[in-house]
Amino acid sequence: ERHAGAELAASRRLLQAICDTLPHSLVVKDRDSTYLMGNRAWAERHGVRPEDLIGKNVAQLRDHPRAEIADSLDLDHETLADPGRRVEKEVERTNPAGEARLLRTWRSALHDGQGQVIGLVSISEDVTERRREERALQESERRFRTLIEASIQGIVILRGRKAVFAN
């Protein structure tokens, strides 16, 4: 029995180490949205230590805006209501510094060995900077297109001897 306990503890440490290598936030919750585990990236994003989240829910960790708490719990319920489907969504969340961040989240039901839903796994990626860069590129392209289309001069772009654009 002592050997089995040591193996279980080693297995849990290995699982935590694997999860901590992930660049994205990861948490595991039970059916009541209580945290069972989380990785280092998730804990850092929330300003806590991974072990501080175990046994708590999102409202107990720090002072989240009420709308964010409700939205997080709604996503959990949506995931658990249809356990065969992965819920994917971009959500805005406030970090401990009070900054709004855009997160792409994936939630899937977690099943035990008999196929019963025992909770969920949630993975989140901070896509704030990527979305800002995409908007900046779209704006730049829009300005370029407007400039070219409004030009009274003829503009032709050639690749080799072939025209690939003309206004």
Give the tens place of pLDDT for each residue, 134-155.
Answer: 999 999 999 988 888 888 888 8
Give the tens place of pLDDT for each residue, 78-104.
Answer: 999 998 899 999 998 988 788 899 999
CA gap 114, 45 in Å, rounded: 34
Low-confidence ranges of the chain (pLDDT < 70): 62
pLDDT at 97: 81
pTM assigned to the model: 0.74
- Do residues 119 and 31 make contact, with C-beta atoms less than 8 angstroms apart? yes
CA gap 47, 40 in Å, rounded: 10
